[in-house]
Amino acid sequence: MKVSIFGLGYVGAVSAACLARDGRYVIGVDVNPDKVRMVSSGQAPIMELGLSELLAAGIQSGTISATTDAPQAIHNSDVSLITVGTPSKPDGELDLSAVFGVCESIGRAVAKKSTAHSVIIRSTVPAGTMSACREILEKHAGGTPVHVACNPEFLREGSAIRDYDSPAFTIIGTNDPSAEQAVRDLYSGIDAPFLVLAPEQAELIKASANAWHATKITFANEIGRLAKNLGVDGRVVMNVLKEDTKLNVSKAYMSPGFAYGGSCLPKDVRGLLSQAATANVNLPLLQALEVSNRCHIDAAEKMVAATSRSPVGIVGLAFKPGTDDLRESPAVELVQRLLAKKKELIIFDEDVYAATLTGTNKQFIETQLPQLAELLISDPESFSQKAGALVFTHASPRLRTLIRPRDDATPIIDLAGLFSAPPENGNYEGSGW
């Protein structure tokens, strides 16, 4: 396989060195002649452990070359990687001018070839970019087939070669089988699963991963600031959190769904913030948790309020399945808001029976939702027949049986991720998918 790599910055240089080491013939392309001269002489244009050695070996073996001549590189390669930078504009939007410029150059060069060419976008780009790149490539390719895929990279500075060799997965964002195969061939020697996704999904994953990393860093720093002001070593606190791989460092709580609630999370977040306020420690990330959670309920309310069918059947009232705990349940707040809008509601929760609620749970309902007994329907068949629309706040699989044969106009609003694919019956809408 002969590969041209457009952009000899961090990602491009590392990719070039590793691909050449693994037996690919690589042509590095850059508009900066200084970078081209450095790579051509086997020198790393960036600081990265082990990179100079790999580049020097590639130059010596003849598997790496570098040029400023884009058409020549396209003529002598089968696959092109786009690894140019996408810096921020003043308003925060990513500057895609280099990516689009490279696509135009590749398209014009491909037009002069008689064989198909594959283009793989490694640059970090916002969702929807690959579609725009395909249009540019096809516009300038003059009918010569161009196969396009998005292949986001997850290389960390200082450990980039190790990350290249041992990724968690290799993402291929494309609907084009030829482009998919090109990526598979490119990384055939890497021991990692291939995940084939829609292009927009692949593009969003890279930004989401970086946002998650930034969130983890900020969270740890906020805990550290609070801990210090309380005379506690925040490193010890976070080290203990990391030991729990069942909940804290795991897949738990990592799926889009309904807002958090219950007797623990809301209370303990508020308690932590109260303690921080007393210690005069500003924790904006943790303060934003409640704001974001309310926004999620706002979005759910808007979705349900938009339906004209009635009564609206709310499926799930407790803060999560398998319990009758209604304290600070987001479903209870949703019901309150809808009742305030004069929505006609009925509720089904197989674990909640108004007559059996006791203690704090009973007091909460008496003050927050006194009409609960009038809204609850305990028989699932009766509930399903009466509901003009269905709103799922719980994701228990057995709740799918509530969808019985009915006309296709029935709104089904899934706030919890109960359905992995839209059900055949009804007009389905998910809250985050």
Catalytic residues: 264
- Tokens 């699932």 sit on residue: 380
Backbone angles phi, psi at 372, to 5 degrees: -55, -45
Q: Is 29 in contact with 73 (CB distance < 8 Å)?
A: yes
Q: Give the 3-state secondary structure of residue 210.
A: helix
d(CA 14, CA 202): 21
Q: Give the 3-state secondary structure of residue 150.
A: strand
CA distance readout (Å), 111 to 143, 219, 235: 7, 50, 58
Terminal-residue alpha carbon distance, the chain: 38
Q: Cβ atoms within 10 A of the Cβ of 204, count?
A: 18
The alpha carbon of residue 408 and the mean position of all alpha carbons in its chain are separated, in whole angstroms, by: 31
Closest Cα to residue 70, out of 58, 82, 57? 82
d(CA 10, CA 340): 55
Q: Cβ atoms within 10 A of the Cβ of 318, count?
A: 23
d(CA 130, CA 152): 11
Closest Cα to residue 416, out of 392, 400, 397, 433? 392
Q: Cβ atoms within 10 A of the Cβ of 348, count?
A: 25
Buried b (16+ CB within 10 A) or exposed e, 354-363: beebeeebee
H runs (alpha helix) in 91-159? 97-110, 129-141
